[in-house]
A and B are shown apart, each in its own frame.
Chain A
Amino acid sequence: MQPIIEIRNLSKTYAGGFQALKDVNLEIREGEILALLGPNGAGKTTLISIVCGIVNATAGSVTVGGHDIVRDFRKTRALIGLVPQELTTDAFETVWDTVSFSRGLFGKPKNPAHVEQVLKSLTLWDKRKQKIMTLSGGMKRRLMIAKALSHEPRILFLDEPTAGVDVELRREMWELVRELRKTGVTIILTTHYIEEAEEMADRVAVINKGEIILVEDKAELMRKLGKKRLTLHLQEPLKKIPKGLSGNGLALSEDGFELTYEYDTRAERIGVTQLLADLNAAGVRLKDLGTEQSSLEDIFVDLVRNGR
């Protein structure tokens, strides 16, 4: 299947000479949730701003739904809804007016039923007659989503949707994103919260210093790059790690009741069997044991630290 967005050799150098994107290649599949994960200043906003038409690329090309974003900008932009990072709204317009305005701007005839449905899904219906400036920060963020959805886009960009948002609203937004995906909307969200990528995404693209370091199915990523931690709960406390066992990723807790062993699931020999045999030989008795998968966060820190 043809990707809904195809980014080819995209570079951006800002007027000051700063290169924010370096030869970026990325394909986004129809109907997926892609998380663009990277630290502040990585180039996430620049990348989506180019796709949406807000920033001009220095080199490279982008197609959306098979159309070039420069030559066929009317077709590509009509497919896209954008929720920018900053809360930028008018102040004196009403909620209803500003959402209807967005719909018109994107070339769609009036459709009060759709606007009503969008406002209701974002719990803004009661506020429809209020001026924007009377809304709280969380409401404004929802309003920006409503504006982006007003013209029934097939692709939704969310630039750091949950930055500075309280837990409840974050859950609501995640819920909304899942609902949208069910209707076939492709969603690209940028974030520097690993938790968010982990919770939401089908695929994760990691960007750092203007370069895409890796693109991977989230599950695959976890499997391939994930570290696991084995925790051993002991019957008797240990004063120190027995000789012959130390020095291979083993750590003892303060109270001496817990031994933890970190291992890389990518490694050919992970050594768990050997470790257990050695412990047995040393006369260490176990009460219980458990393993836990390391989070995307650890993977991410690893990747960024190692450059590529």
Chain B
Amino acid sequence: MNLYAIKAIYAFEMARTGRTLMQSILSPVISTSLYFIVFGAAIGSRIETIGGVSYGAFIVPGLIMLMLLTQSISNASFGIYFPKFTGTIYELHSAPVSFIEVVISYVGAAATKSVIIGLIILATAAFFTPLRIEHPLLMVLFLLLTAVTFSLFGFIIGIWADNFEKLQVIPLLVVTPLTFLGGAFYSIDMLPEFWRNLSLANPVVYLISGFRYSFYGAGDVHILVSLGMVAAFLAACLFTVWLIFRTGWRLKT
């Protein structure tokens, strides 16, 4: 293991975050606040409690997941795509680092950043609504697992993309709809049966449900099912990364 290299790349990526602090941190905070004002205060005041939780508090776990997913994917995909775009990737290729070290440092940095953002959103949410976290350890576990898994997913997108359009297309056309339909703003129990069953095919439902369970002790599906789904998706991403490594796919000419 080239630990110095991992440290160097990780620090480089974190410095990039630091430079774009406004964009990295302020924008998720502002958009979350807007969600709270629109959904929590304006609409939420007309909605009864869901499973004993006020609507404002109910949407907090979903909102954090929403941001965690999009941030993880965009940070990691951009992080590895950008050197390809500018050409500075030559240095990575010519350095005594293996693909695994590259994955650890880029994914690690992207996950760190999204966890920080997740915690900031949590703190922001506490301003708008009283929060209760029943299983803090589980909450942290979910936060970390989700951040790492989707940073890996973003990393794969960044390797795959050879132009900016491809970089945007999956987050825009797949991830955003899935998160909005994943029960961030409602419980899938509120849906007619057909839509409820269809929702069970949406992996994001399991993430949000599990995360919500760690807050309020109740979710749309069983907590173990949620954990299992996250683990399965993590395994799928790790396997894909391993395949990329084995085949050298899109890495070098």
Contacts and interface: CB of A to CB of B under 8 A. Distances in A.
A158 to B, nearest CB: 13
B222 interface: no
Contact of B2 (A53, A90, A93, A107): A107
A74 B19 contact: no
A53 B98 CA distance: 11
A90 B86 contact: yes
A105 B92 contact: yes
B252 A105 contact: no
A77 B96 contact: yes
A130 interface: no
B94 A77 contact: yes
B93 A53 contact: yes
Contacts of B90: 54, 82, 84, 88
Interface residues of B, number: 26
Interface residues of A, number: 34
A93 B96 contact: no
Interface stretch (A96-104, A115-123, A183-191, A213-221): A96-104
A78 interface: yes
Q: Is the interface of B mostly helix, strand, loop or mixed?
A: helix
B96 A73 contact: yes
Contacts of B96: 73-75, 77-78, 106-107
A104 B8 contact: yes
Given A55-B252, A55-B253, A77-B96, A105 B15 contact: no
Give the residue among B2, B11, B95, B253 with the most A Cβ atoms within 10 A: B95
B9 interface: yes
B5 interface: yes
B12 A15 contact: no
A106 B93 contact: no
B244 interface: no
A295 interface: no
A148 to B, nearest CB: 9
A129 interface: no
B91 A102 contact: yes
A242 B7 CA distance: 79
Given A54-B90, A86-B87, A107-B2, A101 B8 contact: yes
A86 B88 CA distance: 10
A91 B83 CA distance: 11
Nearest to B94: A52
A105 B253 contact: no
Interface in B1-50: 2, 4-5, 7-9, 11-12, 15-16, 19
Contacts of A109: 4
B99 to A, nearest CB: 11
A147 interface: yes
Nearest to A48: B94
B238 interface: no
A105 B9 contact: yes
A140 to B, nearest CB: 12
B252 A106 contact: no
Interface string B89-113: 0111111111000000000000000
Nearest to B12: A101
A97 B2 contact: no
Interface centre among B7, B96, B253 (most CB of A within 10 A): B96
Interface in B43-92: 86-88, 90-92
A272 to B, nearest CB: 52
Contacts of B4: 103-109
Interface string A60-88: 00000000000001110110101010101
B3 to A, nearest CB: 8
B144 to A, nearest CB: 25
A14 B97 contact: no
A107 B1 CA distance: 9
A52 to B, nearest CB: 4
Interface of B: 2, 4-5, 7-9, 11-12, 15-16, 19, 86-88, 90-98, 248, 252-253
12 contacts: A73-B98, A80-B94, A82-B90, A88-B86, A88-B87, A90-B86, A92-B16, A103-B4, A103-B8, A105-B8, A105-B92, A109-B4
Given A52-B93, A88-B86, A88-B90, 6 more contacts: A56-B248, A56-B252, A104-B11, A105-B4, A105-B5, A105-B8
Interface of A: 14-15, 52-56, 73-75, 77-78, 80, 82, 84, 86, 88-93, 97, 100-109, 147
